[in-house]
Chains A and B, each alone.
Chain A
Amino acid sequence: MAGRVIVGAGECGARAALALRGRGFDGPIHLVGEEAELPYERPPLSKAVLAEDGAPPRQVVNEAALAERSITLHRANPAVAIDRDARIVRLADGGALCYDLLLLATGARPRRLQKDGAEIAGIHYLRHMADCRALRQRLGSGAKLLVLGGGFLGLEIAATARRRGCAVTLIETQPRVLMRGVPADIADVVAARHRAAGVDLRCGVGIAGIAADETGAAVTLADGSRLAGDLLVACVGAVPNTELAAAAGLTVDNGIVVDARLRTGDPAIFAVGDCCAFPLSSRDGRVMRLESWRCALEQAEAVAGSMLGEERPFETVPWFWSDQYELSLQVAGLPEPDHAIVERRLADDAFILFHLDATGRLAAASDIGPDGSIARDIRLAEMLIARRARPDPALLSRAEVKLKGLLAA
């Protein structure tokens, strides 16, 4: 009997399976995974799970819960082809699964460093639990780590490695860390915190060469200087896993393209999470791909509805968080360089920035501060963004004016 087949047993795929059952779907559900693990949460892999030898990944669902819900998990057995005419997914072990509706939740993978068209060997990347174990083992408690890339992932790994007692050099070719999507004022706080922790932060440098093997790694900079370490981890962006969809003739444009119900051009195939490009409601329907954990969770819920025939369009405000040392930073909405910025000081070491577009609409909000100190305000800002509010900048800047009050207005 054909049922629902979900390709990708990451957090988004697993939660979609649970949501389908939660909403009363009683046919077969197959969850097809490339990894050997039970579905787990990815964000801790650069944080708590990387910090501690032997720490297990936090599971999204265990064997008993899968069995209780009659969800069949295929582990370490990736899908290798989709036959849309026959509605069959073929698996690596030669097996085949019939579907009436198919969900693609294949996520993204790290962009790999290349030289002369070939991948440079010996470099660490971080996406899967297996990567985390390999990295953790090499880090030990005193390794010299080179991190390439000053985005969220590279910075979190740097912070965790410092906590493990490693010497860390972070190399970023852009003039500052967090160039993409984070305002300079917040990136400055992050950079200062890393320097205070003893990270050797090199921004705005050119890279002339990279070499790595089992025993060590070295990066030669454009000025001829050489940075050497025991290992190198590269965090230079992610590419969506769209090959399966493309080979099946589905539209791919930086992500598997879906409509507001998260459905591809084939009415029997849906796509969610880091692998999909969808119309973003808070951006007037512009088609975008996000790499946001919360968005993946929201889409898992929403697509379960769509796959059961609901017509509700998916709506969200992008939201991303990062934990480094005792600091937490969060971004709601998508900040643009041409936004006017209004600052609200919440404490000596905590502030929130409101990003207003040319029409005065609140388009994004970003903040940084010690863990927990800022969460409430950014959440309220997010609700204002969702409402397309045009709040008075003078009120936004004053910490004594409650955002909850602005929301009620």
Chain B
Amino acid sequence: MGRWVTACAIDDVDEEDVIRFDHEGKVYAIYKSPQGEFFATNGVCTHEHAYLSDGLVMGDIIECPKHNGRFDYRTGAARSAPACVDLATFPVRIEGEDVLVEVG
């Protein structure tokens, strides 16, 4: 069982956007979908070292800032080259104004 930690407040992330969350030496990316739903993935691309929080969210897709590899941030699935290894995802829940992530 992982532990739940508070990553940010719900207003810290715009809709269809992403922010970075650092915890115990690990980097996470926290997304808010266009519908206002929250998701969390590993914060570093699986291709090279790039922070996904610098990338662009389009619908359900996060596009890596470095070479435009794409992932579905809801499932972590790699969607287009050069990304071919899926991203790890983490459960998210909302408590009041807080966004909580279950870290590994």
A residues adjacent to B (C-beta < 8 A): 15, 41, 48, 293-294, 297, 301, 319, 321, 328, 371-373, 375-376, 379-380
Contacts and interface: CB of A to CB of B under 8 A. Distances in A.
21 contacts: A15-B81, A293-B67, A294-B67, A294-B68, A301-B81, A319-B68, A321-B66, A371-B66, A372-B50, A372-B51, A372-B54, A372-B66, A373-B54, A375-B54, A375-B55, A375-B65, A375-B66, A376-B55, A376-B65, A379-B65, A380-B56
B66 A297 contact: no
A69 B5 CA distance: 43
B72 interface: no
Contacts of B56: 375-376, 379-380
A379 B55 CA distance: 9
B54 A376 contact: yes
Contacts of B65: 372, 375-376, 379
Contacts of A376: 54-56, 65
Contacts of A328: 66
Interface in B51-96: 51, 54-56, 63, 65-68, 81-82
Nearest to B63: A379
A301 B81 CA distance: 10
Contacts of A293: 67
Contacts of A380: 56
A15 B56 CA distance: 24
Contacts of B68: 294, 319, 379
Nearest to B18: A376
Interface in B29-62: 48, 50-51, 54-56
Contacts of A371: 50, 66
A342 B55 CA distance: 23
10 A-B pairs with least C-beta separation: A375-B65, A372-B54, A379-B56, A376-B56, A297-B81, A375-B54, A372-B65, A372-B51, A15-B81, A376-B54
A45 to B, nearest CB: 14
Contacts of A297: 81-82
From B54, B55, B56, B63, name the one whose CB has the most chain A CB atoms within 10 angstroms: B56
Interface of B: 48, 50-51, 54-56, 63, 65-68, 81-82
A15 B68 CA distance: 16
A375 B57 CA distance: 12
B97 to A, nearest CB: 24
Contacts of A321: 66-67
A294 B55 CA distance: 16
Contacts of B81: 15, 297, 301
Nearest to B51: A372
Nearest to B17: A404
A15 B84 CA distance: 12
Best-buried of A15, A293, A297 by chain B (most CB within 10 Å): A297
A371 B53 CA distance: 12
Nearest to B16: A404
Nearest to A300: B81
B45 to A, nearest CB: 10
A325 to B, nearest CB: 15
A386 to B, nearest CB: 13
Contacts of B51: 372
Contacts of A41: 82
B27 to A, nearest CB: 12
Contacts of A373: 54
A372 B56 CA distance: 11
B16 to A, nearest CB: 8
A293 B66 CA distance: 12
A376 B18 CA distance: 11
Given A15-B81, A376-B55, 7 more contacts: A48-B48, A297-B82, A319-B68, A372-B65, A372-B66, A373-B54, A380-B56
Contacts of B66: 321, 328, 371-372, 375
B92 to A, nearest CB: 22
Nearest to B69: A297
A319 B67 CA distance: 10
A259 B48 CA distance: 34
A321 B65 CA distance: 11
Contacts of B63: 379
Contacts of A319: 68
B63 to A, nearest CB: 7
Point out which of B54, B63, B82 has the most chain A C-beta atoms below 10 A from its C-beta.
Answer: B82
A300 to B, nearest CB: 8
